[in-house]
Copies of this chain bind each other. A is one copy, B any other.
Amino acid sequence: MESKKFILQERDIPTAWYNVMAEMPTKPHPMLNPGTKQPLKAEDLYPLFSKEASNQEFNMDDKWIEIPDEVREMYKIWRPTPLVRARGLEKALGTKAHIYFKNESVSPVGSHKLNSAIAQAYYCKKEGVTNITTETGAGQWGAALSMAAKHFGLDLAVYMVKVSYNQKPYRRSIMQTYGAEVIASPSMSTKAGRKIITDHPNYQGSLGTAISEAVELAMSTPNCKYVLGSVLNHVALHQTVIGLEAEKQMEMAGEYPDVVIGCFGGGSNFSGISFPFMRHNFSGDKNTRFIAAEPASCPKLTKGELRYDFGDEAGYTPLIPMYTLGHNFSPANIHAGGLRYHGAGAVVSQLRSEGMIDAVDIPQLETFEAATLFARSEGIIPAPESSHAIAAAIREAKKANEEGTAPVILFNLSGHGLIDMAAYDQYLAGDLTNYEVPDAEIKANTEGLQGLN
């Protein structure tokens, strides 16, 4: 564990986010109105999101978007985050590869999710919003938004998937300690929730249902906006602070990554670590490989179809151009709850379709094996989600060993696993299993979805 950290000062926190849409060779396809099938404009999202977030969602022109002072001040609570040379892991693997990780787990809520939660809460506050609402699965996003909402004096209602609400009481308590209201979803507080409870009294909830409830609350409540933690372009934008800091830190280390890896759910942390480095690929200066590491049980980038699909299960959202497993796809109950999402965001999907992003899907047991090796060699217990990135980095290092090469590998440690120890408990007891998705299931779920032009 002779790790070596590269530490920046507060003045090194980026002053602007990097907007990849301004530079990508082909712009992403537009979101569509599901009724008219017409492309959406920023104004169409104003009823749901803050105006600033809506504008950012459609901004194809500005390469850099200034980070408001109020947001940057709050970033100072934990940013800049360290970049670490994982010498302990390298030694354990007997590799000549140089492995680095960006440690986003040092945030007070334990993950990268705060980077966007703060920005979105700030824009709502600035625009006179008094209430915000969101959904959360395992609770990482809900915890981050709870902290941000409290800071800006916003009331927050979080719809938490019922099975998690009951099984993960610690994450619920974190949100409540920050002062948020947490509602098990489906609930009786919305039409969508009431309908589901009436039809299926024992239904334990899903992210799709929770999104529907939060959206309904936002649309039916004065001065209330909806806030989302991944998938969308403006969320990925806010996360680019990760890669921008890492770029400076790799310079301090005197290296540049040959490979950049992030785990992949909706795309927020993968985009955050990747996009800033990708701009040097766009310019032709570099030729870095970018690898999205997704679960074998939810493999949209490796096995999904590129289609127009809804962002939620109920079909309330606009149609998004995405690699998808189908919005009714029901992922297996793996412990990496943050990766259990059926689709990839529009930008990542476009880049993937052009071959600018690679993807791997990794079985659950391999991710816990990687996580345990990482904990024992680097001292940090990773979140089950982040362990997918670690496993992908280990695969790259092993491949390098076979090939006799020594690449520079950078991955994002998006969060720690200290609130996920029940998962480790099951792993150490031999009680975890792998899940594979049958091709026929993906085919059935994506059949009939509209293709991209």
Contact = CB atoms under 8 A, between A and B. Distances in A.
A44 interface: no
Interface string A81-113: 000100010000000000000000010111000
Given A4-B10, A173-B424, 10 more contacts: A5-B76, A169-B421, A173-B421, A174-B421, A176-B425, A177-B428, A178-B375, A179-B376, A418-B419, A419-B421
Given A173-B425, A177-B428, A422-B169, A76 B375 contact: no
A151 B375 contact: no
- For the complex of A and B, 5 pairs with smallest distance between CB atoms: A170-B421, A173-B421, A108-B380, A173-B425, A108-B379
A333 interface: no
Contacts of A375: 177-178
Contacts of A76: 2-5
A321 B392 CA distance: 55
A77 interface: yes
A147 interface: yes
B170 A422 contact: yes
A380 B144 CA distance: 11
Contacts of A178: 375-376, 381
Interface of A: 1-5, 7-10, 73-74, 76-77, 84, 88, 106, 108-110, 147, 150-151, 169-171, 173-174, 176-179, 372, 375-376, 378-381, 416, 418-419, 421-422, 424-425, 428
Copies in the complex: 2
A390 B184 CA distance: 32
A375 B109 CA distance: 10
A91 to B, nearest CB: 11
A390 B175 CA distance: 20
Contacts of A179: 376
A179 B176 CA distance: 33
Contacts of A381: 108, 174, 177-178
Contacts of A150: 376
Given A3-B77, A7-B7, A77-B3, A151 B424 contact: no
Given A106-B106, A108-B380, A422-B170, A77 B177 contact: no
A3 B151 CA distance: 12
Nearest to A147: B379
A62 B222 CA distance: 68
A94 to B, nearest CB: 16
23 contacts: A1-B74, A4-B76, A5-B10, A5-B77, A7-B9, A74-B379, A77-B84, A77-B378, A88-B151, A108-B378, A147-B379, A151-B379, A169-B421, A169-B422, A170-B421, A173-B422, A176-B424, A177-B372, A177-B375, A177-B424, A177-B428, A419-B419, A419-B421
A177 B387 CA distance: 14
Contacts of A425: 169-170, 173, 176
A147 B77 CA distance: 27
B428 A1 contact: no
Contacts of A10: 4-5, 7
Contacts of A169: 421-422, 425
A139 B106 CA distance: 21
B7 A174 contact: no
A120 to B, nearest CB: 16
B2 A73 contact: yes
Contacts of A176: 424-425, 428
Contacts of A7: 7-10
A388 to B, nearest CB: 17
A172 to B, nearest CB: 8
